[in-house]
A = this chain, B = another copy of it.
Amino acid sequence: MAEKYKLSGRGNHPEDSIFDISGRKIGGGNFAVIAGPCSVETEPQILSIARDVKNAGASFLRGGAFKPRTSPYAFSGLGLDGLDLLKIARAKTDLPIVTEIMSIDYLEQFANDVDIIQIGARNMQNYDLLHAVGRLGKPVLLKRGLSSTIDELLLAAEHIMASGTEEVILCERGIRTFETATRNTLDLSAVPVIKALSHLPVIVDPSHGTGYWNLVEPMALAAAACGADGLIIEVHNHPEAALCDGEQSVTPGVFKNIVRKVNIVRDAIANA
């Protein structure tokens, strides 16, 4: 039988992929933590958070410049100004940057300025965007859609890869269910399921996956324990004043402790 996942599947690529992105490795035993605020707000904000998360052990800085918002009347990010602030933060901290693209209008800026281009959950099946980004050949972080199956996630990666990109990182970020105690239901079993089918790295977003900052630590530890290749965590220096997602953002202090514990769990399992 032909491999359904020609490029993303293990059929034609049995060993784990290891990507070296701006000097940071992910996959095949290399764990990467991406951290930062939901939205880039001001230069002092992003610089402060960037320094804190670097100090805590993050490998990449995340921050939203273009924000998909359910309502057209909600704050939708600083746009290109936000991208400029991310570049300043990268210059001062040497952290590569990860940010979401929503429009092919900005392909060139993202190609020039961003280390990992994020495709958000709402756009996981926006094939036009998948193809356009795929043609750039730059590293992509692909988030699972809110009601996308694992099969559809892998085929979305396949769309990107068939367009010319090799480095696709998959991200489990919670799915939509009937449960209302959490914002979404974090489907951690997706991690071992995907890793059995695909050689691509899989990371977990416990911030969006749960919606509450106090659930981030336990789910980050769980993600590390079940084999994830990394985490993406929302960190804000003043969560109570954040322009978006404050409820699910941890402070730099909490974040530092999470990274420390995650490393302890990973070491314990590696030596088990």
Binding site for B on A (CB under 8 A): 4, 6, 68-73, 102-105, 122-123, 125-129, 145-147, 149-152, 155, 158-159, 162-163, 175-182, 185-193, 196, 209-210, 214-215, 218-219, 221-227, 260-261, 264-265, 267-269, 271-272
9 pairs of A and B residues whose beta carbons are closest in the complex? A147-B147, A268-B268, A225-B225, A122-B125, A222-B222, A103-B128, A218-B226, A222-B226, A221-B225
Question: How far apart sit A206 and B122, CA to CA, in the bound complex (Å)?
Answer: 24
Closest to A266 in B: B268
Q: Which residues of B contact A129 (CB under 8 A)?
A: 126, 128
- Sampled A-B contacts (10; CB under 8 Å): A68-B127, A70-B125, A72-B155, A122-B127, A128-B129, A150-B181, A185-B189, A186-B189, A191-B218, A261-B269
Cβ-defined partner of A269 (8 Å) among B68, B72, B221: B221
A104 touches B104 (CB 8 A): yes
Query: Complex: how many Å from CA A175 to CA B188?
Result: 13
Beyond known contacts A122-B125, A123-B125: 19 more, CB 8 A cutoff: A70-B151, A70-B155, A72-B127, A72-B162, A72-B163, A122-B126, A145-B147, A151-B181, A178-B178, A179-B190, A185-B185, A185-B187, A186-B187, A186-B188, A191-B218, A218-B227, A221-B226, A221-B269, A261-B272
Chain B residues with CB under 8 Å of A188's CB are 186, 188, 219, 222
A264 touches B260 (CB 8 A): no
Point out which of A123, A150, A189 has the most chain B C-beta atoms below 10 A from its C-beta: A189
Could you tell me if A178 and B147 are in contact, using CB atoms closer than 8 angstroms? Answer: yes
Contacts of A186 in B (CB 8 A): 187-189
A192 is contacted by which of B125, B177, B218, B268 (Cβ under 8 Å)?
B218
Task: Return chain B residues, CB-CB under 8 Å to A219.
Answer: 188-189, 192, 226
Q: Which of B68, B210, B218 contacts A225 (CB 8 A)?
A: B218
Residue of B nearest to A184 (CB): B189
